[in-house]
């Protein structure tokens, strides 16, 4: 899942300083799961913004709305009504949602309310850890399902580095050396031979070399043509 955290209130207030009526738009996708942009966070942020503006002598009116997702056009159609109701909007979706909503509804001034941080897992309540970099050239078959690109501070292949001591990362001693984890995992699986050869430099082209990455499935496009057509005017 995509992990995000809310921007400081002061920064959000600076974004909407010229406006007296704004929408705060949440998302029930990833940002809701990591408690950054769901229904509750929309309510809390709206109240905090109104209180701050009231204390500054410049009252603010808010409209609160949480969408199923902000990364699919069909779920963004409620925004079409907002352009005549508010002067601006704060989106609590990840950066993908802010980009798409701004592209589809350029008449609405949409500002980000969260910082998108990483792709992560939720190993325990209130904790999220980066486990994937979305590099487009997955090598988890070679590393026992543990990603050195995301989980090594130096993004090393053919690790560990010379700074690793006592199975800990030299950058952060509280973090296990991912290459020790990989070694232990492969040993337990009886697959240590995967580490016996030197791996060639990673192919970074799929990671975005040459511009934004895109993926197309013509079969899905044909099947869903009617679904997406006319979704946004």
What pLDDT tens digit does each residue of the chain (233 aa) get?
Answer: 999 999 999 999 999 999 999 999 999 999 999 999 999 999 999 999 999 999 999 999 999 999 999 999 999 999 999 989 999 999 999 999 999 999 999 999 999 999 999 999 998 999 999 999 888 888 898 999 999 999 999 989 998 999 998 999 999 889 999 999 999 999 999 999 999 989 888 888 888 777 788 888 888 876 555 555 444 43
What's the whole-model pTM score? 0.83
Domains, the chain: 2-118 (3.40.50.2300), 135-207 (no CATH)
H-assigned helices in the chain? 9-15, 30-33, 39-55, 73-76, 95-104, 148-151, 178-189, 218-223, 225-228
């Amino acid at each position: 899942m995509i992990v995000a955290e809310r921007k400081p209130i002061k920064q959000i207030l600076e974004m909407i300083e010229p406006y007296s009526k704004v929408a705060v738009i949440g998302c029930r996708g990833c940002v809701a799961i990591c408690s950054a942009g769901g229904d509750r966070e929309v309510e809390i942020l709206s109240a905090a913004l109104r209180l701050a503006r009231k204390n500054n002598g410049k009252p603010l009116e808010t409209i609160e709305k949480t969408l199923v997702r902000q990364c699919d056009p069909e779920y963004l159609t409620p925004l079409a009504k907002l352009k005549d109701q508010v002067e601006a909007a704060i989106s609590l979706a990840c950066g993908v949602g802010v980009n798409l909503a701004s592209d589809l509804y350029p008449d609405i001034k949409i500002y980000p309310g969260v910082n998108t941080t990483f792709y992560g897992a939720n190993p325990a309540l209130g904790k999220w850890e980066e486990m994937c970099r979305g590099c487009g050239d997955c090598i988890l078959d070679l590393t026992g399902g543990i990603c050195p690109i995301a989980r090594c501070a130096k993004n090393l292949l053919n690790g560990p580095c010379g700074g690793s001591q006592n199975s800990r990362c030299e950058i952060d001693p509280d973090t296990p050396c991912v290459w020790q984890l990989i070694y232990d995992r492969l040993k337990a699986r009886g697959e240590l031979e995967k580490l016996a050869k030197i791996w060639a430099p990673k192919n970074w082209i799929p990671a975005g070399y040459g511009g934004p990455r895109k993926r197309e499935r013509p079969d899905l496009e044909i099947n869903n043509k009617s679904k997406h057509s006319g979704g946004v005017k």
